[in-house]
A and B are shown apart, each in its own frame.
Chain A
Amino acid sequence: AAGVIQSPRHLIKEKRETATLKCYPIPRHDTVYWYQQGPGQDPQFLISFYEKMQSDKGSIPDRFSAQQFSDYHSELNMSSLELGDSALYFCASMGGHVAFFGQGTRLTVV
């Protein structure tokens, strides 16, 4: 069965650079969630989209933005990267009552 696809799987950026993470939801899923998980931390909800509109917002920094496109894929844009942004970033998609997660993008800021 198709799963949630995230790309890239690994990304290394320097401080003050920008990064774009992509998420391809399970076909026919209309909701996408983004999470950040720092080392030794629990996943923290950042933002979600339902039918291409922002539906809920968590602890997403102002330097980050996201959107969901007409084909339902989503992108998380991160600017002015800081060392503290180094983390695993997970995307999840939902088409009913259950959200399924991708394998994540590991972002390392150096």
Chain B
Amino acid sequence: DAKTTQPTSMDCAEGRAANLPCNHSTISGNEYVYWYRQIHSQGPQYIIHGLKNNETNEMASLIITEDRKSSTLILPHATLRDTAVYYCIVRGMYSGGGADGLTFGKGTHLIIQP
């Protein structure tokens, strides 16, 4: 069963902020939200993750709603190289170490327009 729901595709103009939504209404308390992206046939690239607080790094920002049922990945100034499939994934962490496998859903194909 899919744990996340994302739009199939989105367009964004180069230089603008790209906001990618993700619904994860069945997320449980010990599950993190992760974002990866995959540029054609390359290995998936880690972007950011969070539990309940908003997070920011050099690539993006992650906004998680207070009820944790949805989140938004923000690419602040999209470039053509950001064209990729973006995956929102929820995953639990084992208390003794290790974690569930990352389960990739359908993802959002983000197309940055010049």
- In the assembled complex, the CB of B47 is this many whole angstroms from the nearest CB of chain A, namely 10
B44 interface residue, CB < 8 Å from A? Answer: yes
A79 interface residue, CB < 8 Å from B? Answer: no
Interface of A is mostly: strand
A8 interface residue, CB < 8 Å from B? Answer: no
Cβ-defined contact, A42 with B46, below 8 A? no
Question: Complex: how many Å from CA A47 to CA B100?
Answer: 10
A78 interface residue, CB < 8 Å from B? Answer: no
A 37-51 binary contact with B (CB < 8 Å = 1; else 0): 000001111011011
Contacting A56 at CB < 8 Å: which of B87, B93, B100?
B100
Cβ-defined contact, A88 with B107, below 8 A? no
Cβ-defined contact, A88 with B100, below 8 A? no
- In the assembled complex, the CB of B5 is this many whole angstroms from the nearest CB of chain A, namely 14
Cβ-defined contact, A103 with B101, below 8 A? no
Cβ-defined contact, A90 with B43, below 8 A? yes
Interface footprint category on B: 20 to 34
- By a CB distance below 8 angstroms, the chain B residues around A100 are 46
- By a CB distance below 8 angstroms, the chain B residues around A72 are none
B53 interface residue, CB < 8 Å from A? Answer: no
B21 interface residue, CB < 8 Å from A? Answer: no
- By a CB distance below 8 angstroms, the chain A residues around B43 are 4, 90, 92, 101-104
Candidate in A4, A31, A94, A99 with the most chain B CB atoms within 10 angstroms? A99
Report the nearest B residue to A99, measured CB to CB. B102
Interface footprint category on A: 20 to 34
Question: Complex: how many Å from CA A90 to CA B32?
Answer: 22
Which chain B residues have a beta carbon within 8 Å of chain A's beta carbons? 32, 34, 36, 38, 41-46, 49, 85, 87, 93-94, 97-107
24 A-B interface contacts by CB (under 8 A): A33-B101, A35-B104, A42-B87, A42-B104, A45-B104, A47-B101, A48-B98, A56-B98, A88-B41, A90-B43, A92-B43, A92-B44, A94-B99, A97-B32, A97-B99, A98-B46, A99-B46, A100-B46, A101-B44, A101-B45, A101-B46, A102-B43, A104-B41, A104-B43
Q: A31-B97, A44-B104, A104-B42 are in contact. List 8 more A-B contacts (CB 8 A).
A: A43-B38, A48-B101, A50-B94, A50-B98, A97-B99, A99-B102, A101-B36, A103-B43
